[in-house]
Homo-oligomer: A and B are copies of this chain.
Amino acid sequence: MSEEKNEITLKNYQVKIQDGLLQHLAEFIKPLWQPKKIAVITDDNVGPLYVDKVEAQLIEMGHRVVILTVPAGETSKSWEQVQVLIDSLAQNNFVRSDGIVALGGGVVGDLAGFVASIYMRGISLIQIPTSLLAQVDSSVGGKTAIDLNAGKNMVGSFYQPNLVLIDPSTIQTLPKRMLVEGYGEIVKCAALVGGSFWEIVQKVHQPADIILQAESLIHASIAFKASVVMRDEKENGLRKLLNFGHTLGHALELIEDGQLMHGEAVAVGMAYITAAFEKKGMTAAGTTAEITARLAQVGLPLVANQLGSAAFYRAMLHDKKIKGDQIILVYIKKIGEPAFYPLKITELKKWFEPILNSQIEDN
């Protein structure tokens, strides 16, 4: 991995991070793609903001462009939308050397990435994530997915894009809740990395500070993710570290039925997994307070209604990191020192119950 201020190189592709980059796409796309057919997949929130601008630039480069718009929201990560998109590609005679541009948040990135990975066994893909969460989380690492009734991201693939283009200025138009949600994922990365990254996070005292620090925060998060993913593309070991806060978080997301956004659920998950390990003496005293302070200052939630319910424990059993009769928990010994702890599934309840009965302090 090479790394300069605005550019991170992964095995086969680059991530470009630059304010205003959406205004001059040719600079990045032209060296990569000869004129071809391109499907721009977007949603009905993001499309109206950016798709005309993107389309005009692609046509200027000599591409033939098809715009495919899905309804905004998690429900579009479905078999139904996959089939609609695939049929559109086939009807337009897309071949393997044509391309897809995913323009939108995490839902569009996950869905369009999955479609790109399976149409003709894989066609070229450029990710242009426009939400903070997608920029720091789902656009790097090659995970694509759709949801089943049984759980989020139950179907998907590992598929690397050809290029990821991030324009931090797009987060200025995000609703505050989505901005803050993305920041939850950033705090997760910072807690795993520690050092100077944790120092930048400490400069964020309110949502507006996220926008002020956007470029540094996005860059630090992606550089960390890239270093981990490069060493473990298929999630056999190290990459599981990125699931800090996700074991509890995914379960909550599932059963709270859309009430909690992903970054919010991860925030609650980080708070409680850290509290549980701190109570056991495996995490340095005060670490939970350090983390919850960062989350609370921007208004991220620290509790959820369903924490500790029977449904909550049941939902954890769908975790993709379950191996045999064990669930692999990610915790931190202190800020910047992550570790794994394999827990017997049968002991899940005993492990978490004590901490769920006490209130995490919000200092």
Contact = CB atoms under 8 A, between A and B. Distances in A.
B154 A157 contact: no
Nearest to A117: B157
Interface string A91-103: 1010111000000
Taking chain A's interface residues, is the majority helix, strand, or loop, or is none over half, making it mixed?
Answer: mixed
A317 B148 CA distance: 34
In the assembly, how many copies of this chain are there? 2
A149 B323 CA distance: 39
A148 B87 contact: yes
Contact of A36 (B120, B157, B321, B324): B324
Given A143-B121, A154-B119, A324 B148 contact: no
B318 A122 contact: no
Contacts of A323: 95, 97
A90 interface: yes
6 contacts: A79-B79, A90-B154, A97-B324, A119-B155, A120-B155, A121-B158
B322 A95 contact: yes
Interface string A119-156: 11110000000000000000000011100111101111
A86 interface: yes
A169 B144 CA distance: 41
Contacts of A87: 148, 150
Interface in A179-238: 234-235
A34 B318 CA distance: 20
A142 to B, nearest CB: 10
B121 A118 contact: no
A349 interface: no
Given A34-B324, A86-B148, A118 B118 contact: yes
A157 B93 contact: no
Interface string A75-118: 00001000100110011010111000000000000000010011
A11 interface: no
Name the residue among A90, A93, A144 with the largest chain B CB count within 10 angstroms: A90
Interface residues of A, number: 42
6 smallest A-B Cβ distances: which pairs? A90-B150, A95-B322, A121-B156, A97-B323, A120-B320, A118-B155
A122 B79 contact: no
Given A95-B323, A119-B155, A121-B145, 11 more contacts: A34-B324, A86-B148, A87-B150, A90-B150, A95-B319, A118-B157, A119-B154, A120-B156, A120-B320, A121-B156, A122-B158
Given A95-B322, A120-B320, A324-B36, A90 B151 contact: yes
Contact of A93 (B117, B119, B318): B318
Contacts of A95: 318-320, 322-323
A319 B155 CA distance: 27
A97 B235 CA distance: 12
A121 B86 contact: no
